Structure 1
């Protein structure tokens, strides 16, 4: 069993800030599910850490990536509101 990751208070605060910026940008209700995580990428040319954000509207998942560590994400990195429709993930699409 792997030990639980211990994140700094700054990391936790940065994740919360990204969720808040996402909620504000897309005018999501306070109780809307918004997930922000930092993931590692091992593909060639990929940054070692990137931030993935997902949120749900009417049972549709929307998702985007920021190719930065979560502590480096700025409000301007959040996609513009008019792009919301393009962020919908097709759950039935073949990979």
Structure 2
């Protein structure tokens, strides 16, 4: 038994690739720019249990949150995310 382990939310690798593809297309990012995607347990009041944090590693880095698990994100969520900037 590992007392220090934390269960990490599992995701579908195809969903990760699809999300990154949508972001590159919508923001017209250079393929050289890296995108980091993490699923975190959300502790904020009223927040779903899992949120997806997207970090675009440009200069300066930009961070976005979608209050859904990665596998539940659809294109409309990503479009809405960047329209609200």
Q: TM-score range by the shorter chain?
A: 0.7 to 0.9
Number of aligned pairs? 80
Q: CA deviation at 1:3?
A: 7.6
* In 1, Cα distance between equivalents of 2:15 and 2:77: 13
1:2 is matched with 5
Contact 1:50–1:69 (CA<8 Å) still a contact in 2?
yes
Partner of 1:93: none
Q: With structure 2 as the length reference, what TM-score do the two structures score?
A: 0.76
The residue number in structure 2 matching 1:63 is: 63
Residue in 1 that maps onto 2:16: 15
Q: Deviation of residue 5 (structure 1)? A: 5.2
2-structure distance, mates of 1:3, 1:46: 20
Structure 2 residues without counterparts, runs of 5 or longer: none
